[in-house]
Structure 1
Amino acid sequence: MPGGRVKKAPTIVEIARDLGVSSSTVSRAFTAPRLLRPETVERIRAAAAERGYIPNVHARALSTGVPRTIGLIVPDIANPFFPPMIRAAQRAAEETGHTVLIADTDGDVEREKRIIARLAAQSESLIIASSRLPSDELVELTDRRRVLFINRDEPDTARILVSARDALSQGVNRLLELGHRRFAYVGGPAGSWSDGERHGAVLAALQGSGAHLHSFRIESGTYEDTMVAGDEILSAAPTAVIAFDDVIAHGVIDLLHHRGISVPQQISVVGCDDVLALTTQPPLASVALKAAEAARLAVRIVVEGQVSEMLSPQRIALQGELVERATVAAPPEQPRR
C-alpha cells in the first residue's frame, strides 16, 4: 500500500512464543493433529487464524524434494463404492495441508503398475484400494515406498480392511431363520479380496445348515453383465440371492422384475456396500460398509511420521452393519409332495 507498511504474516516461532508452546507443537497442529490433544489443536489453530497465519504447504516439499501429496489409486472410480472413499480422503488430507492425486486402474494389473510408478514420483505416500497386483509385488512395493493398502489383506504390510464378514454372516443367518434353503452368491471380479471375503463368509455361515449354495461370477462387476447372466443365475432356482455389491444386486433385482419374478415374495436379495440401497424398487437390504472411515484413517496413518520411513506393518479391520430393508422375506411355500 503506497506510503504504508506491508504487514508480515506471523511465523510458527512467533505463534509458539505467544502461546507458550514449542514450534514443533504448532507445526503438529497443522501437519499431524492426531498427535495432540483436540483442545490444544483448537487453541493453536484459533490463535493462528486470529493472527493471519497461513500454513506453508510447500515448505516440506522444498526441504524434502517431495510435494505434500498423497496418491490414491482405485480400480474403478465409477463404482459407487469408491466416491465416498475419495471424498473422505480429500477432506482428511486438506486438514493437514495435503493434496490427493487420484488415479483409476480400471482393474488392470499392468495399468496399476504404471500408475504406481508415476504417482510414487509425485507423492509422499500411496494409498492403494483393492489392488490386483500379485502378493510378491505388493510386499516388494512396501519395501521401497510409503504405501498403505485398503481391502487387500497382505501380511507384513500396512492395510485397512473394509470388512463385510460379520454382517453377511448375520444376513445369511436371518435368511435361514426365515426358511430359505436354496442360495445363490453372485460374485464380482476374480482376485478381489472383498469378493473372496464375502464369498467365504456366505460359505461359512451356510456350513452345516443343509442349505444349497450355487456361486456365480460377474467378472466385470457391471449392472449390464449381471442382466445378461440372468439365465445362469436363475438356473439354480434360488429363493435367496446374495450379491457381491449393490451394483450387482441392482442388476439382479431388475432382471427378476423383467422375468416376472417378484422380490421378495419369490426371491429375496441382499447386497453389499449400501450405496444404491434406496434407489432400487423395493429398497435393497444391504451391508453398510465403512469406506469413508477407512479413507480418513488411511490418510492419518500415511501423513504421520517421517516421509523417508516406510510404514510399519499393521492390520485394521472395520466391520460393516447389516441394514434390513424390503428385499428380504420368507421364501414361498414349496408344494407338498
Structure 2
Amino acid sequence: MCVPLLVLDPEPSMATGCHELPACWQTRGMDHSGGDGGRRAVTIYDVAREAGVATSTASRALSNPGRVSERTRRHVEEVASRLGYRANRLAQALPSGRTRMLGLVVPDVTNPHVFGLLRGAEAQAAAAGYTVVFADSEERPELEAAHVERLSSFVDGFVLSPRGDDAALRALAQVRPVVLFNRSLAPVPGVTFDFDDSSRQIVDHLVALGHSQVAYLRGPVTSWADGRRRAALARHCGVHGVTLTELGPFAPTLGSGPAAADAALAGPATAVVAFNDLLAIGVLQRLEARGVSVPGELSVVGGDDIFGASFCHPPLTTIAAPTEQAGRLLVDMLTGRVPGDELVLHAPLVARGSTGPPRV
C-alpha cells in the first residue's frame, strides 16, 4: 500500500521567505476574539499593529530583512515570534514562482536504509529554509512517475532514488531541477556510493577467510545499484579466482529471505552476498529456522548497515553506506550550495559475526 505524501515542515526562519507580501504570514491559530472560541489566523496587519510599524515595514522585516534596519527587523521578528507566525508557502510562491519545497521520492518507505537519507535531506533542507515533501514509489516506476507528476506543480526540485528509465529522468531534468541518489546518469547530478571499492572489500574479506564459492542474491531488476554491485563483484571475484553464482532477482525485503536462502543452500556457495540488509536478515532468519550454522555452514554479507544489522543473530557483516551524508549533499546540490555533478562516497565494510571461515 502506498504511503501518500508526508510533508516534513521544519519551523521556518523568520529571516527567510517571500518577496514583499502583506498577507504571506499566518499562524496555526490564535484567539483574538477575547473569548474561548473564534480562533483565526493572525495576519501581517496584526503584527504591524502590535509592533507599531507600517504594514509594508513589517512585511519587509519578515520577508526581505535587508531592506529595514537591524533594530526594526529584530523588533518585528520578536513580535512575530510572540504571536506565533509562520510562513504561508503557497502565498510566497505567487510572485516568485518558488515554494521552497523539495520533492523526495524513494522506492520503499519501509526500508530502514531510507531513514538516513531522509534525515540528512530534511536537516539540510531545514537549514536552507526548505520543506521536504516525501513520497514512496513502492519499487514501481509507474508510481514514481505519478508522484513526480503530482508534485511538479508545487516543488522547486526533486531528490530521486529512481526506478524509472534513463530517458524519462533526462526529460524531467530538462524541465525541473533534479538530483539522483544511487543512479549515475550524465548530465543529471547525483550522489552514489563506491560500489566497486565496497565490492572489492567484500571479496577480499571472504577470500581472506578461505571462501572460493560465493553467491550473489540479486535485487530488483530496475535497480541501477544492483547492476553495479553485480558487475563489481564479478570483476573482483575473477581477480581472485573465486566462482560467483548469481541468484534471483529477489525483492529487497525480509519476506524474500526464505526463497533466497533456500536457493543459496541448493548450490555450492559457502558465502552469500545479499543486495541489501533486509534481504540478508531474512536469509539469516531462514537459515536459523533450518538449523544451518552461520557462519560455519554459510557466511552472509549484507549491503547497507541499517539500524538493527548489529542486533542480528549473528550480527550482520555489511557495507556501511553513509546515507545521511548523501541526503545532505543531495539537498546542497539541488539548492546550489554544492556544484551540480556526480559525487561518489566511500562505503566501508563492517565485519561482524555472520562471516567466518568455511567448514572443511
Q: TM-score, normalised by structure 1?
A: 0.81
Counterpart in the other structure of 2:94: 62
SS in 1 for 2:50: coil
Q: Structure 1 residue 291 and structure 2 residue 318: aligned?
A: no
Equivalent pair of 2:220/2:252 in contact (CA under 8 Å)? yes
Counterpart in the other structure of 1:41: none
CA distance in 1, matches of 2:241, 2:66: 72
For 2:117, the aligned partner's letter is M
Q: Structure 1 residue 325 and structure 2 residue 352: aligned?
A: yes
SS in 2 for 1:215: strand
Shift of the 56–304 alpha-carbon distance from structure 1 to 2, 3 Å rule, reads farther
Counterpart in the other structure of 1:105: 137
Shift of the 262–64 alpha-carbon distance from structure 1 to 2, 3 Å rule, reads same
SS in 2 for 1:229: helix
**Partner of residue 94 from structure 1, selected from 119, 126, 147:** 126
SS in 2 for 1:149: strand
The CA deviation at 1:314 is 1.4
CA distance in 2, matches of 1:16, 1:207: 67
Structure 1 unaligned segments of length 5 or more: list them: 20-46, 306-310
CA distance in 2, matches of 1:192, 1:171: 20
**Partner of residue 271 from structure 2, selected from 233, 237, 240:** 240
Counterpart in the other structure of 1:316: 343
Counterpart in the other structure of 1:222: 253
For 2:120, the aligned partner's letter is A
Q: TM-score, normalised by structure 2?
A: 0.76
CA distance in 2, matches of 1:253, 1:15: 62
**Partner of residue 182 from structure 2, selected from 135, 139, 151:** 151
Q: Structure 1 residue 199 and structure 2 residue 230: aligned?
A: yes
Equivalent pair of 2:120/2:328 in contact (CA under 8 Å)? yes
Shift of the 170–144 alpha-carbon distance from structure 1 to 2, 3 Å rule, reads same
CA distance in 1, matches of 2:93, 2:191: 27
SS in 2 for 1:208: helix
Shift of the 97–313 alpha-carbon distance from structure 1 to 2, 3 Å rule, reads closer
Mean Cα displacement is larger for which, 227-236 or 245-254? 227-236
Q: Structure 1 residue 163 and structure 2 residue 218: aligned?
A: no
The CA deviation at 1:313 is 5.4
Equivalent pair of 2:217/2:250 in contact (CA under 8 Å)? no
Mean Cα displacement is larger for which, 190-199 or 69-78? 190-199
Greater relative contact order, per chain length (Cα 8 Å cut-off, separation 6+): 1
Shift of the 16–182 alpha-carbon distance from structure 1 to 2, 3 Å rule, reads farther
Equivalent pair of 1:156/1:313 in contact (CA under 8 Å)? no
Describe how 1:1-337 pairs up with structure 2 within 5 A. 6-7=50-51, 10=61, 12-13=64-65, 17-18=69-70, 52=78, 58=89, 60-129=92-161, 131-275=162-306, 276-304=308-336, 314-333=341-360
Equivalent pair of 1:70/1:98 in contact (CA under 8 Å)? yes
For 2:50, the aligned partner's letter is V
For 2:223, the aligned partner's letter is S
Shift of the 241–16 alpha-carbon distance from structure 1 to 2, 3 Å rule, reads farther
For 1:280, the aligned partner's letter is C
Identity within the alignment, %:
31
CA distance in 2, matches of 1:185, 1:90: 33
CA distance in 1, matches of 2:356, 2:75: 56
Structure 2 unaligned segments of length 5 or more: list them: 1-31, 35-48
CA distance in 2, matches of 1:117, 1:14: 36
Show CA shifts across 1:215-261 (max 9, x none).
11243222222213333221112111111111111111122212221
The CA deviation at 1:56 is 5.2
For 2:245, the aligned partner's letter is H
Shift of the 230–165 alpha-carbon distance from structure 1 to 2, 3 Å rule, reads same
Show CA shifts across 1:246-292 (max 9, x none).
11111111222122211112211111110031231011111000111
Once superposed, what is the RMSD of the aligned Cα atoms? 2.6
Counterpart in the other structure of 2:37: none
SS in 2 for 1:205: helix
CA distance in 2, matches of 1:212, 1:122: 51
